[in-house]
Chains A and B, each alone.
Chain A
Amino acid sequence: MKNPLDTLTGTAACGLLLTIALYVIARMALGG
């Protein structure tokens, strides 16, 4: 499998997914 970090598009997708995941976790932690 190709490393997504080898392309800017793949890197941006990883950044976006990580942001969403952390935001959901933070909201749950804050009881929202």
Chain B
Amino acid sequence: MDYVPALSRWLHLMAGIMWVGLLYYFNCVQAQALKDAQADGSAAGISKHVAPRALFWFRWAAVLTWITGAALLGKNFVAAFTLQPAHLPIGIGAWLGTAMLVNVWALIWPNQKKALGLVPATDEEKGRARRIAFVVSRANLVLSFPLLFFMAAGAHAALFFGR
């Protein structure tokens, strides 16, 4: 067994499931739950105890997914990111995953810190931060569709591209 690619693939799948799973949790469960909880005054339980923990695992799973993905690409890293024909499907997936990772660390996390009151912010800044974090999280949900498609296609080119 070639240990590095095997371990990388295993860890990449586990970290990716945690990352995308939490992304789906935020978008399909927590966003609507927070709206309802705000209406009956019980939002603090989610924003104080659930969201910060979920965001911790979310952002670090994103990093681990990217690192193990890069390790998995190995010597094909440059060929994938320069979209060489032999590595086009996985290259598209790698670019999508990279864009999503940047969204997490550059936009979602800094704005969630403000929205959740983890850093000082005025009510106006919190409202704006909440909207940015929401829209970027939704954008990542959009990107996850082709991301998962091209990750699967990268490993099963014959099935998806007939080659």
**A, B co-complexed:** yes
Produce 1/0 per residue, B111-134, CB < 8 A to A. 000000000000000000000000
Contact residues of A: prevailing secondary structure: helix
Q: A3-B135, A32-B163 are in contact. Are A22 and B150 (CB under 8 A)?
A: yes
Q: Which residues of A contact B89 (CB under 8 A)?
A: 26
Q: Which residues of A contact B145 (CB under 8 A)?
A: 12, 15-16, 18-19
Indicate whether B28 reaches chain A with its CB closer than 8 angstroms. Answer: yes
Closest 6 CB pairs of A and B: A15-B145, A5-B138, A19-B146, A15-B142, A14-B142, A19-B145
Residue numbers of B with Cβ under 8 A of A are 27-28, 83, 85, 88-89, 92, 135, 138-139, 141-146, 149-150, 160-163
